[in-house]
Amino acid sequence: MAFAGWNGLLPLSVCLLLTCGFAKAGKLLVVPMDGSHWFTMRSVVEKLILSGHEVVVVMPEVSWQLRRSLNCTVKTYSTSHTLEDLDREFVAFANAQWEAEVRSLFSLLMSSSKCLEFSFSHCKSLFNDQKLVEYLKERSFDAVFLDPFDLCGLIVAKYFSLPSVVFTRGIFCHYLEEGTQRPASLSHSPRYVSEFSYAMTFKERVWNHIFYLGEHLFCPYFFKNALEIASEILQTPVTAYDLYSHTSIWLLRTGFVLDYPKPVMPNMVFIGGINCHQGKPVPKVSHCSFSTLKVFWLRIFKRIPY
């Protein structure tokens, strides 16, 4: 019931947050991510369009969900891979999850690394389109609305020196804490992949520190290609902290109902919601009496051999 309520208020909440700084309808550049990440973000973008804002969505020509039409300006850029390449890598990623249980952040990211390389390469293709870059520069946008998972939206915001509004469920690794300069108490806040509760034993707290150190060792390696692309585009050495700390507002689709209480910074806003389509009412079903159910189950049990 909580999710249903959140999904209904989600577009309204984001619209209010995005429009509070504009005296009139503003110009918003949207840099989405493909797949399930686009489902919830799309509903917010549609509400912003209906509110009178001038919205420009930048997306790759090859995608799963982004190809669906929007009632706004859509700019596309070519990619070096095909839809078949995306399908093949995603099937390989999905099969890896069935074959072996994901027990660590390392195994999760390694199994998805090839699939995410396509997302990382999108940004290079975007900035290779000089005509598109000039168009975006001339539009003088007020802000960039982005999903930070593939880093491209963060690179675009930094390249054009625009305020950025991040729309996400969360960020693996430690970049949420670093980007917002939020205190991270490892003795009380379990890491995302630890599966610990907030009431950790001494042994669990030690392991929680080990998980945190593991993130610092592995995450720079995982984002190496993306950061190299960012450094090439921005023509200066770039770290993940440089990109995430540029964020103006963090719209987090979560809350303390889903996650354990943690320190919150002023630019972090909990708006609820999850990665899914808008919920639909449960269809009405006919009621049957207890006696009818009893007869039904007895008939089933009689057919099951013991």
The whole-number pLDDT of residue 304 equals 44
- Low-confidence residues of the chain: pLDDT under 50: 1-8, 21-23, 102, 290, 293-298, 300-306
Q: How far is residue 22's CA from residue 45's CA, in Å, rounded to a whole number?
A: 16
Q: Which residue type sits at 4?
A: A
Task: Name residues whose C-beta falls within 8 Å of residue 26's C-beta, 6 or more positions apart in sequence.
Answer: 19, 53, 54, 142, 143
Which DSSP string do the residues of 27-46 spell out, in sequence order? EEEEE--STTHHHHHHHHHH
CA torsion 79-82-85-90 (nearest 10°) is 80
Cβ(114)–Cβ(92) under 8 Å? yes
- Residues in a beta bridge with 75: 58
The reported pTM is 0.78
Q: How far is residue 254's CA from residue 179's CA, in Å, rounded to a whole number?
A: 18
Q: How far is residue 252's CA from residue 81's CA, in Å, rounded to a whole number?
A: 31
Q: How far is residue 198's CA from residue 182's CA, in Å, rounded to a whole number?
A: 17
Domains defined along the chain, listed by start: 2-188+223-303 (3.40.50.2000)
Cβ(195)–Cβ(209) under 8 Å? no
Q: How far is residue 77's CA from residue 241's CA, in Å, rounded to a whole number?
A: 27
Q: Are strands 54-60 and 249-252 parallel, antiparallel or unpaired?
A: unpaired
The whole-number pLDDT of residue 30 equals 95
The whole-number pLDDT of residue 305 equals 45
The whole-number pLDDT of residue 14 equals 57
The whole-number pLDDT of residue 293 equals 47
The whole-number pLDDT of residue 174 equals 83
Q: How far is residue 161's CA from residue 144's CA, in Å, rounded to a whole number?
A: 10
For residue 195, the number of C-alpha atoms closer than 13 Å in the C-beta half-sphere is: 4
